[in-house]
């Protein structure tokens, strides 16, 4: 097959310079590219029996022309032809739009095959393709014809001919590339057979088997790359093996006001094991809102510090930085760990002091926004970086650190529960730790969905909660009134609620407030000076006010499920029953379904899976930053089991010495080189 990757398509009869160029425009340069240009679907030319065809279905029917065709012209260049045909002794009407030329082919008595859309009520087919029953193409009877994504001048007919020719001339050279034991274990169709059958399936089952084999191969090759990258990363000893004094870690854990959950214990072990290993940790820690990630982070930081290193915690916003500073200081400083803040809100003088202290090793743990690792900030011995709620710590950030001579362990924390399917795809080269258990005694948040007109009643329920001494969030999608959008804005709602609740303090929070003011508002809410906080989504991540038990989310249909879940996670953080009210009048069925899903479950992983199903994977992370690979045949939603199998099999394979040495794996190693994953790296 390597040879077929090097054989240009111009070797084929009928491919001159022009056509080669057109094919190149479709990404087809070699014979292998052509053979791997898979159809996106099949057109069903199998002649169907009228009685079994459903309304609106696209079908092929056989019939005899009966009576004269009638043509009607209307508008500019528009026409409609209709003719009666007999099919199985039923009289049926066939209709063509803007194809007046077919009239001459419709002599009475002629037998034809018509492909098009069936209208059961009118007994009518709207034809898109017609074949005379005695023509050569009628041999297509009983066939599933592939439909390819086309571009430029290359038509289906051309493509089919070329592929047929390539199969005839080079089909014997299509070698099996998957390991024989895998082909056998998963009962996969052999490669040569599958490539032929995906283009020209003998029947539906044959086509399905071909697709299954090629889907698996795609996922297998994808995972092979990822698992190889992982192995290379692990092989590099440029990371630091931390010598963690476990006794001190244990002491710290037993000093906590609560016992760790089993899930927390498990992930702590995974993280510490990784920190002790000589490679750089590259781990994702996912856990639902409130599952207790901060404590886990604190344990990891303590372990790094006690092993003689510094730690950094990077967060996306100043509010979060402040909050983490507080919780880490109260957790860690009794154990002799110096924690400092480094963020945009510091004065120049304070900033210089902190930077100096970091450089001299006087600060053990620094908390800040991503500016933390940049420019003039130097560490004396950075061993661990933890990022909270941002996936953006990637290759570039590692490079900056490496240039400073630092190769720390990195832990990514996220409360956006990523369905496992996506996690092993998008973050496939990372190790994943999951906290899949809530601390004991939590009451699930009671969520309800109300229409806008019910808002006054919601406010009364809220007043009752406030009278009990509880606090409430009211979330709005916008800061100010917008001419374009008819949605609630925080400033107006704040003014309104100040009137509705004269007896309570109502605060206002949004992203455009200066950092100092945001801080002051947050502190006042935490201190209980405000009973109600009207806010935009700036309170989305991490904010922790356990006395807040009531949340109203205005225009909830404007938020994604993952985001709603994040917002909702601001309540339900104490021992009291909490409530979340979604105010929304969604128009679409999907919108309504999303509101229902929110009310049904508080399990972030289930929500994200449902979100994925409702929106599709492209949308899940927002299309642009998704970083999800595109597959020709595989589909992450329906083929996730195969993805998991591929992951296990490839991880096993690249760990074996034989894979890097034996001739039978030559093709796969070549593939890794072609894909730029291996450049001279050899394992032994
Ligand atoms: P996350 O960051 O995962 O959303 P936090 O770390 O902020 O969650 O934890 C939420 C709350 O639960 C905090 O008040 C924390 O002190 C508490 N908590 C964490 N772990 C436990 C535990 N094992 N048992 C009881 N409470 C816990
Ligand atoms: Mg958190």
Q: pLDDT (tens digit, 9 = 90+) per residue, 11-40? A: 999 899 999 999 999 999 999 999 999 988
For residue 550, which of 608, 480, 501, 511 has the smallest C-alpha distance? 501
- DSSP type of residue 572: S
CA separation for the pair 165, 176 (Å, rounded): 20
Q: What is the pLDDT confidence band of residue 230, given thresholds at 50, 70 and 90? A: confident
Residue 623, pLDDT above cutoff 50: no
Asked if residue 328 has its Cβ within 6 Å of ligand 1, the reply is no
For residue 310, which of 233, 370, 225, 240 has the smallest C-alpha distance? 240
User: Are 657 and 683 in contact, with CB atoms under 8 Å apart?
Assistant: yes
- CB burial of residue 436 (10 Å; 0-12, 13-18, 19+): middle
Q: pLDDT (tens digit, 9 = 90+) per residue, 668-678? A: 998 898 887 77
Residue 62, pLDDT above cutoff 80: yes
How many Cβ atoms sit within 10 Å of the Cβ of residue 540? 23
- CB burial of residue 193 (10 Å; 0-12, 13-18, 19+): middle
Q: Three-state SS across 635-671?
A: CCCCCHHHHHHHHHHHHHHHCCHHHHHCHHHHHHHHH
Q: Calculate how far, in angstroms, residue 407's C-alpha sits from the geometric centre of ligand 1.
A: 30
User: What pLDDT score does 572 carry?
Assistant: 87
User: What pLDDT score does 607 carry?
Assistant: 82
CA distances from 498 to 510, 520, 642 (A): 16, 18, 56
If you average pLDDT over residues 630-650, what whole number do you get? 83
Pull the structure tokens for residue 670.
């070549």
Q: What is the pLDDT confidence band of residue 1, given thresholds at 50, 70 and 90? A: very low
In this structure, the chain runs to a length of 684
User: Are 138 and 131 in contact, with CB atoms under 8 Å apart?
Assistant: yes
Q: What is the pLDDT confidence band of residue 58, given thresholds at 50, 70 and 90? A: confident
Asked if residue 289 has its Cβ within 6 Å of ligand 1, the reply is yes
Asked if residue 174 has its Cβ within 6 Å of ligand 1, the reply is no
* DSSP line for 203-261: SHHHHHHHHHHHHHHHHHHHHHHHHHHHHHHHH---S------HHHHHHHHHTSSSPPP
User: What pLDDT score does 626 carry?
Assistant: 41
For the ranges 9-23, 91-105, 471-485, the lowest mean pLDDT is seen at 471-485
**C-alpha R_g of the chain:** 32
Of all residues in the chain, what percent carry a pLDDT higher than 90? 45
Nearest C-alpha to atom 9 of ligand 1 is from which residue?
292
User: Are 340 and 357 in contact, with CB atoms under 8 Å apart?
Assistant: yes
Residue 278, pLDDT above cutoff 70: yes
Of all residues in the chain, what percent carry a pLDDT higher than 70? 89
User: What pLDDT score does 635 carry?
Assistant: 78
Average per-residue pLDDT in the chain?
A: 86
CA separation for the pair 115, 450 (Å, rounded): 49
If you average pLDDT over residues 605-610, what whole number do you get? 78
CA separation for the pair 449, 595 (Å, rounded): 7
For the ranges 246-260, 299-313, 539-553, 573-587, the lowest mean pLDDT is seen at 539-553
Highest mean pLDDT among 59-68, 212-221, 428-437: 212-221
- Counting from 1 in the atom list of ligand 1, the atom nearest the Cα of 297 is 6
User: What pLDDT score does 321 carry?
Assistant: 87
Asked if residue 401 has its Cβ within 6 Å of ligand 1, the reply is no
Asked if residue 572 has its Cβ within 6 Å of ligand 1, the reply is no
If you average pLDDT over residues 542-565, what whole number do you get? 86
If you average pLDDT over residues 409-421, what whole number do you get? 78
Nearest C-alpha to atom 17 of ligand 1 is from which residue?
292
For the ranges 169-183, 418-432, 559-573, 591-605, the lowest mean pLDDT is seen at 418-432
If you average pLDDT over residues 142-154, what whole number do you get? 80
Q: What is the pLDDT confidence band of residue 422, given thresholds at 50, 70 and 90? A: low
Residue 117, pLDDT above cutoff 70: yes
Q: What is the pLDDT confidence band of residue 256, given thresholds at 50, 70 and 90? A: very high
Q: Which residue has the higher pLDDT, 611 or 296?
A: 296
HSE-CB of 356 using CA atoms within 13 angstroms: 6
Asked if residue 292 has its Cβ within 6 Å of ligand 1, the reply is yes
| Angle (CA) 675 681 684, round 5° | 125
Domains of the chain as residue ranges with CATH: 46-142 (2.40.50.140), 246-435 (3.40.50.300), 446-601 (3.40.50.300)
Q: Calculate how far, in angstroms, residue 415's C-alpha sits from the geometric centre of ligand 2.
A: 7
Pull the structure tokens for residue 98.
């803007």
Strand-strand pairing, 90-97 and 78-87? antiparallel
Highest mean pLDDT among 37-41, 352-356, 425-429: 352-356
User: What pLDDT score does 35 carry?
Assistant: 95
User: Are 92 and 62 in contact, with CB atoms under 8 Å apart?
Assistant: no
How many Cβ atoms sit within 10 Å of the Cβ of residue 151? 12
Q: What is the pLDDT confidence band of residue 290, given thresholds at 50, 70 and 90? A: confident
- Counting from 1 in the atom list of ligand 1, the atom nearest the Cα of 546 is 14
Nearest C-alpha to atom 24 of ligand 1 is from which residue?
439
User: Are 498 and 299 in contact, with CB atoms under 8 Å apart?
Assistant: no
For residue 412, which of 300, 333, 539 has the smallest C-alpha distance? 300
Q: Calculate how far, in angstroms, residue 293's C-alpha sits from the geometric centre of ligand 1.
A: 7
Residue 236, pLDDT above cutoff 70: no
If you average pLDDT over residues 118-137, what whole number do you get? 82
If you average pLDDT over residues 441-457, what whole number do you get? 91
């Amino acid at each position: 097959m390597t040879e077929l990757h090097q054989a240009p398509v111009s070797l084929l009869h009928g491919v001159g310079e022009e056509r080669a160029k057109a094919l190149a425009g479709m990404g087809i340069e070699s014979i292998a590219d052509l053979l791997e240009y898979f159809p996106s679907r099949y057109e069903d030319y199998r002649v169907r029996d009228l009685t079994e065809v459903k309304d609106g279905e696209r079908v092929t029917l056989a019939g005899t022309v009966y009576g004269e065709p009638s043509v009607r012209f209307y508008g500019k260049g528009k026409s409609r032809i209709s003719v009666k045909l007999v099919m199985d002794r039923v009289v049926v009407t066939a209709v063509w739009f803007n194809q007046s030329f077919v009239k001459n082919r419709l002599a009475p008595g002629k037998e034809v095959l018509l492909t098009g859309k069936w209208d059961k009520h009118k007994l009518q087919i709207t034809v898109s393709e017609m074949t005379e029953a005695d023509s050569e193409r009628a041999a297509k009877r009983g066939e599933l014809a592939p439909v390819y994504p086309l571009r430029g001048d290359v038509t289906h007919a051309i493509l089919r001919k070329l592929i047929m020719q390539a199969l005839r001339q080079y089909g014997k050279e299509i070698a099996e590339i998957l390991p024989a034991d895998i082909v056998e274990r998963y009962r996969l169709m052999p490669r040569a057979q599958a490539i032929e059958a995906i283009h020209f399936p003998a029947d539906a089952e044959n086509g399905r088997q071909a697709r299954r084999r090629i889907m698996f191969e795609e996922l297998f090759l994808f995972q092979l790359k990822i698992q190889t990258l992982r192995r290379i990363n692990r092989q590099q000893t440029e990371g630091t093996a931390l010598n963690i004094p476990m006794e001190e870690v244990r002491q710290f854990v037993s000093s906590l006001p609560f016992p760790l959950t089993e899930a927390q214990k498990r992930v702590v072990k995974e993280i510490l094991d990784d920190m002790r290993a000589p490679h750089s940790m590259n781990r994702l820690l996912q856990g639902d809102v409130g599952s207790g990630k901060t404590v886990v982070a604190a344990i990891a930081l303590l372990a790094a510090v006690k092993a003689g290193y510094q730690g950094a915690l990077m967060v996306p916003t100043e509010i979060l930085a402040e909050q983490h500073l507080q919780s880490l200081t109260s957790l860690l400083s009794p154990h002799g760990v110096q924690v400092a803040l480094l963020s945009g809100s510091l004065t120049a003088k304070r900033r210089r002091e902190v930077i100096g202290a970091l450089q001299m090793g006087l600060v053990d743990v620094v908390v800040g926004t991503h500016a933390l690792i940049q420019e003039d900030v130097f560490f004396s011995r950075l061993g661990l970086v933890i990022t909270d709620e941002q996936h953006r710590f990637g290759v570039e950030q590692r490079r900056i650190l490496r240039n400073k001579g630092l190769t720390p362990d990195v832990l990514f924390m996220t409360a956006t529960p990523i369905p496992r399917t996506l996690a092993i795809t998008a973050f496939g080269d990372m190790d994943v730790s999951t906290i899949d258990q809530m601390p004991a005694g939590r009451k699930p948040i009671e969520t309800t969905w109300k229409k806008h007109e019910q808002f006054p009643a919601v406010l009364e329920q809220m007043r009752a909660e406030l009278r009990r001494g509880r606090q409430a969030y009211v979330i709005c999608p916008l800061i100010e009134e917008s001419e374009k959008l008819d949605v609630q804005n925080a400033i107006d709602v704040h003014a309104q609620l100040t009137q509705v609740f004269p007896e309570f303090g109502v605060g206002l929070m949004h992203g455009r407030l200066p950092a100092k003011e945001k801080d002051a508002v947050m502190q006042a809410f935490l201190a209980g000076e405000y009973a109600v906080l009207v806010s935009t989504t700036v309170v989305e991540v991490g904010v922790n006010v356990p006395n807040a038990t009531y949340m109203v989310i205005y225009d909830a249909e404007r938020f994604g499920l993952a985001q709603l879940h994040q917002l909702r996670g601001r309540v339900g953080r104490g021992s009291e029953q909490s409530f979340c009210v979604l105010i929304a009048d969604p128009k679409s069925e999907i919108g309504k379904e999303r509101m229902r899903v929110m009310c049904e479950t508080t399990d972030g992983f289930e929500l994200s899976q449902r979100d994925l199903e409702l929106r599709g994977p492209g949308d899940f992370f927002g299309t642009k930053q998704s970083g999800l690979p595109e597959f020709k045949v595989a589909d992450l939603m329906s083929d996730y089991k195969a993805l998991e199998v591929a992951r296990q099999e490839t991880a096993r394979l690249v760990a074996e010495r034989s894979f890097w040495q034996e001739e039978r794996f030559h093709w796969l190693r070549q593939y890794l080189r072609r894909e730029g994953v291996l450049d001279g790296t050899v394992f032994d």
